[in-house]
Amino acid sequence: MTDAFTLLDDASLEGRNTFRVAARAALLADVNHADGFAELFRYPVFEAGNPLVLGGGSNLLFAGDWPGPVLSIRAHEIRIVEDDGDSALVRAEAGAEWNDLVGWTLARNLPGLENLALIPGTVGAAPIQNIGAYGVEVRELVETVEAWDRDVGAIKRVPAVDCDFGYRDSRFKREHDRWIVFAVEFRFPKQRELRLDYAGIRDELQRMGVEQPTHRQVAEAVSRVRTAKLPNPSLLGNAGSFFKNPVVSRAQANDLLAKHPDLPNYATDDDITRKLSAAWLIERGGWRGKRIGDAGVSEQHALVLVNHGRAHGAQILQLARDIARDVRHRFDVELEPEPRIIGADWNP
């Protein structure tokens, strides 16, 4: 073993997932340096063992243990790679906390991540599910993703155009057995317009008494809105939105809107579909604030499932399936989970 990684047998993962459910890994590797991959994948247990890659554990649900090895990137350096006056290129390693990167860039007058303030998780997870909030998605800033490619056994630089980013989706999510994200390079134009159109942000700035907001003040407003609307995973176990907002045909959206004119709905990348508010659909079934044992739905937000203490992942999964079935029954709309489910199939 070298200092490029450390290994632990029979490791508890309870402190490594934001739902804080119990789970174990037969072998856990913490990777401190990119050189660690080549060394680690010489071990047959990793090469043949289909390792699970854990980031901040904020976008997965352990409904059971992971049968193979688990790997986590600890490297967390953030630095400016180049600055041409008009824009700066920042490289952040996967283990850095996402919100630390947001603060780091804004403190250096590099705008762009302010709407993504306070999203739990690590930098490495950000491109995998193309994190987004308040009208901004991370794909807008990503220039290159550096990832270990298990197919060739080397680090590859994947330019943003080849990342296949979509709504909470990317190539790295779809091909999760192939890629291990090690670092992300972001391009920050020095001048960037503020995005304030998402409901709640302007109101919050007004409450703060701000008329001409700076990017840092927008981050502050976003943080306040998030704190008021979403439960803090360090106080109450959760993984943010448990479901994606469902995308349905325009015809189905129109039918639903004729019956439910207040159903929030949004444009997608094309003309033939609409995105519906999953929170609204769930709330209609009376799920907000509901609790079955220690598995529950947040009182603050119907999209967020929570662990009130000692819920098992399987109980949270069962609650999620019950919610999805109820929404299907009421509205004929299929909900899909946003986090990755480990140790069970979704199968609602």
Is residue 72 within 8 A of residue 168, CB to CB? The reply is: no
Residue 133 as a binder of ligand EPU (CB under 6 A): the answer is yes
Residue 18 as a binder of ligand EPU (CB under 6 A): the answer is no
| Separation between Cα atoms, residue 206 and residue 189, nearest integer Å | 27
Shortest spacing between CB 274 and ligand EPU, in angstroms:
13
* Closest to ligand EPU by CB, 43 or 198: 198
Shortest spacing between CB 57 and ligand EPU, in angstroms:
13
Which one of 64-72, 78-86, 248-256, 275-283 is the stretch in contact with ligand EPU (CB under 6 A)? 275-283
One residue of 49, 55, 127, 240 binding ligand EPU per CB under 6 A: 240
First-to-last C-alpha distance (Å) of the chain? 43
Residue 130 as a binder of ligand EPU (CB under 6 A): the answer is no
DSSP 207: H
| Separation between Cα atoms, residue 21 and residue 311, nearest integer Å | 7
CA dihedral 329, 333, 339, 342 (to 10 degrees): 50
Which one of 64-72, 213-221, 248-256, 276-284 is the stretch in contact with ligand EPU (CB under 6 A)? 276-284
Q: Can you give 264-298 as a three-state secondary structure string? A: CEEECCCCCEEEECHHHHHHHCCCCCCEECCEEEC
One residue of 134, 179, 186, 188 binding ligand EPU per CB under 6 A: 134
Place of tokens 């599910």: 129
Do the strands 70-73 and 52-54 form a parallel or antiparallel pair, or are they unpaired?
parallel
Site size toward ligand EPU, by CB under 6 A: 19
One residue of 303, 316, 317, 335 binding ligand EPU per CB under 6 A: 303
Binding site for ligand EPU (CB under 6 A): 133-134, 198, 229-230, 240-241, 244-245, 264, 277, 279-280, 283, 288, 301-303, 338
